[in-house]
């Protein structure tokens, strides 16, 4: 019988159903697990499920029965995959489940900021409509999306879906080549051109050693059109101190972020401190989390486990 342990079930909403596998098993779910609880909770487990709980080499070495780490997310940075490879432990992840939810969240942020919905809502609650003494008032600029350029950094499934939606709004989506690239492939524009000419910039790339602080003060100073900056990808892609400085200096029109560098953010996080501004929207890493997407993730998670036990592993993630 397989012993399955879910280390952080609270990372999926309570209304999301986990389909029980058909093979003989024992499933134990923990809402969350502290680092010093992980080894004990996985003792004797053959399958571990984790979303964000870290599984490092030292912990993995204490788990001789472990055969599969099923990551309940696309990103698998929480797992030491090199150690898993040495120990004969497979690692699987989730793919393609967020093709609607993340792009829709991107456009929720873009539309809210481009039309100043937060500012107008705050004004209505503060009584500004009554003070205006007419049917409307114009405390904030409202701008259309049609005819604007959307710069997309990252050309995977999500970046391409965002481009598809942008065309419906009659925007011009363009994909940025890699920062510092000497050659630009077909379908891309040079990095510097996209940074300088976009009215909205949106990030859809992973966080790696090469992409950390991908956008900092030099990039903000090069943003000639004072764009909106949208980040639903990973915290750390944008230098948050430089982001606040760019807002202070008017180098960008606003920021819509679903991620921070460190989550949850510390109380003194620069972006968190700026989140009360009308041209800033910060959401708690929920772009991925529509009910439909979460259920698709949960279904794929259990399918990955069933396929592994049946001897046909899928969605395997390799080290390196």
Tens of pLDDT, residue by residue over 31-66, are 999 999 999 999 999 999 999 999 999 999 999 999
Question: Do 35 and 176 fall within a single domain?
Answer: no
Return d(Cα 288, Cα 294) in angstroms, integer.
8
- Residue 207 contacts residue 236 (beta carbons within 8 Å): yes
Give per-residue pLDDT as tens, 188-233. Answer: 999 999 999 999 999 999 888 899 999 999 999 999 999 999 999 9
Q: What does the pLDDT average to over 93-100?
A: 95
Residue 210 is a catalytic residue: no
Closest CA to 30 of 10, 3, 54, 4: 10
Q: What is the pLDDT of residue 186?
A: 93
Q: What is the pLDDT of residue 75?
A: 85
Q: What is the pLDDT of residue 147?
A: 98
Residues 263, 273, 292, 314: which is the catalytic one?
Answer: 263
- One-character DSSP codes across 215-237: B-HHHHHT-TT--EEEE-S-TTS
Question: Do 271 and 139 fall within a single domain?
Answer: yes
Give per-residue pLDDT as tens, 130-165. Answer: 999 999 999 999 999 999 999 999 999 999 999 999
Give the CATH number for residue 305. 3.40.50.720
CB atoms inside a 10 Å sphere around CB 55: 26
Q: What does the pLDDT average to over 69-85?
A: 94
Position 239 pLDDT exceeds 90: yes
Residues 2, 161, 234, 240: which is the catalytic one?
Answer: 234
Question: Do 83 and 133 fall within a single domain?
Answer: no
- Residue 48 contacts residue 5 (beta carbons within 8 Å): yes
Question: Do 269 and 131 fall within a single domain?
Answer: yes
Predicted TM-score (pTM) of this structure: 0.91
Could you give the 3-state DSSP secondary structure of residue 319? coil
Q: What is the pLDDT of residue 134?
A: 95
Question: What is the H or E stretch that residue 27 is in?
Answer: strand 25-29
Inside any domain, residue 32: yes
Residue 226 is a catalytic residue: no
Give per-residue pLDDT as tens, 156-167. Answer: 999 999 999 999
Whole-angstrom Cα Rg for the chain: 22
Question: Do 68 and 126 fall within a single domain?
Answer: no
Q: 65 lies in which domain range?
A: 2-97+291-309
Q: What does the pLDDT average to over 85-100?
A: 96
Question: Do 148 and 41 fall within a single domain?
Answer: no
Residues 95, 178, 212, 285: which is the catalytic one?
Answer: 285
Position 246 pLDDT exceeds 80: yes
Inside any domain, residue 317: no
Residue 234 is a catalytic residue: yes
Using N-to-C axis directions, what is the helix angle for 117-125 and 101-114, rounded to 10°?
A: 60
């Amino acid at each position: 019988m397989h012993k399955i342990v879910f280390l952080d079930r609270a990372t999926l909403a309570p209304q999301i159903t986990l389909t029980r596998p058909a093979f003989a098993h024992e499933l134990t779910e923990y809402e969350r697990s502290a680092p010093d609880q992980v080894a004990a909770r996985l003792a004797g487990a053959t399958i571990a499920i984790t979303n964000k709980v870290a599984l490092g080499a030292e912990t993995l070495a204490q788990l001789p029965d472990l055969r599969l780490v099923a990551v309940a997310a696309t990103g698998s940075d929480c797992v030491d995959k090199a150690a898993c490879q040495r120990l004969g432990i497979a690692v699987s992840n989730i793919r393609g489940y967020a093709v609607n939810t993340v792009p829709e969240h991107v456009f929720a942020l873009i539309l809210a900021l481009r039309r100043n919905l937060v500012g107008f809502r705050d004004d209505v609650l503060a009584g500004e409509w009554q003070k205006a003494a007419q049917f409307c008032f114009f405390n904030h600029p409202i701008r259309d999306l049609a005819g604007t350029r959307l710069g997309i950094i990252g050309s995977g499934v999500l970046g391409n879906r965002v481009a598809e939606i942008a065309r419906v709004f009659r925007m011009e989506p363009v994909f940025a080549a890699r920062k510092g690239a000497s050659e630009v492939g077909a379908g891309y524009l040079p990095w510097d051109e996209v940074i300088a000419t976009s009215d909205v910039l949106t990030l859809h790339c992973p966080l790696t050693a090469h992409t950390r602080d991908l956008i900092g003060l030099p990039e903000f100073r090069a943003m000639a059109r004072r764009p909106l900056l949208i980040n639903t990808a990973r915290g750390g892609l944008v230098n948050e101190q430089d982001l606040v400085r760019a807002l202070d200096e008017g180098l960008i029109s606003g920021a819509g972020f679903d991620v921070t560098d460190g989550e949850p953010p510390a109380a003194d996080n620069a972006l968190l401190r700026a989140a009360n501004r009308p041209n800033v929207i910060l959401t708690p890493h929920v772009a991925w989390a529509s009910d439909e997407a979460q259920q698709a993730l949960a279904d794929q998670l259990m399918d990955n486990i069933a396929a592994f036990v049946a001897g046909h592993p899928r969605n395997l993630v390799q080290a390196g």
